[in-house]
Amino acid sequence: MTNDKREIVVPENLSGKRLDTIVHELLTEFSRSKIQQWISDGHVKVDGQVLLSKKKLYGGERIEISIQPDLALTSFEPEDIELQIVFSDDDIAVISKPVGMVVHPAAGNWSGTMLNAILNYFPNNKTLPRAGIVHRLDKDTSGLLVIAKNEISQNNLIKQLQNKTVHREYRAIVWGQIWQNRTIKEPIGRHPKNRKKMAVNKINGKPSVTHYEVLERFAFHTYIKCNLETGRTHQIRVHMQHNDSPIVGDPIYGFKKIIPSKEFSENLKNSTLNFKRQALHATKLGLVHPVTHKNMFWEIPLPEDMKNLLQVIRQETNDLNDRYDIDYEYYDDSPIIIGDEDIEVDDD
């Protein structure tokens, strides 16, 4: 069993909020219901005292939380699933997640996940919360993830994520022509009508920040890089949909009834409209090693499906350039901001 204890000081901007709300906002990796259970069981103390979840705090109080292991995790078994290990030492491992792999078991995916594979590769991770997982990628998003291999590293990585010092860079192929680099600052929360989806939600959403930059612009698409300040569920996908430039192949936040342009070749129609997943890839990861304190950085290439898609899109654009003498390459690289510039970004 792990002895994971956290200490936090209530910031002034959370003054007047309930104890359970404050802990949840500062430790977003745990559900509010789980935090309420810990408070009820006496695992959360405020200035040395056990309080009720509904107790309001006013800033400056010291909260001690004894993180309780997820008992359900003990039922997960190691499985012989191949992982692409990009880096590994005694403290952390960096993994290149393939398309189609679920990171953590959940309803409908209780086995065959990255967590099951981690337990096979690193048996000692059985003692860690979530087997050392500190952040996730969607099932059909490929790319880099870091996991912890001991408690000290896990706590350190979580703090780096909360402090927004972890560099996470993505590549995406989106619909439409983007003409300017932008920062999107729009809060993300549950969709008001479809609870299985996320959406820009200005009432109940959490502050979310995505920076994107144009890499190539084509006749009907744009190839961009995205950097995250926060890490909300489906963040890039939701922000790109809100930006009217949804990601190619996205089954949830993409175009539902797109009518192919008469200018589309059959190859472009088939390649884009039948792309089997969202064209999103976590290509770069940078962080401070939790033990050596050295700056570390990893980069992996695009997967073959996105390379092939780009090749088709480039060829289509080149053909149109030749036919109509149009230059699609120019864009304005001066950044602008979408959303509230004064929005306060919470810990992710």
Q: Which ranges in 53-112 belong to alpha helices (H)?
A: none
Q: Which of 138, 140, 250, 347 is catalytic?
A: 138
74 in Cβ contact with 103 (< 8 Å): no
- Smallest CA-to-CA distance from 280 within 217, 218, 227, 237 is with 237
Q: Which of 69, 83, 155, 132 is nearest to 112 (CA)?
A: 83
Question: How far apart, in whole angstroms, are the C-alpha atoms of residue 325 and residue 318?
Answer: 10
Buried b vs exposed e over 307-332: b needs ≥16 C-beta within 10 Å? eebbebbeebbeebeeeeeeebeebe
Catalytic-residue membership of 138:
yes
What residue type is 42 in one-letter code?
A: G
CA angle 128, 152, 79 (to 5 degrees): 30
β-sheet bridge partners, residue 4: 67
Phi first, then psi: give them for residue 177, nearest 5 degrees.
-100, 115
Active site (catalytic) residues: 138
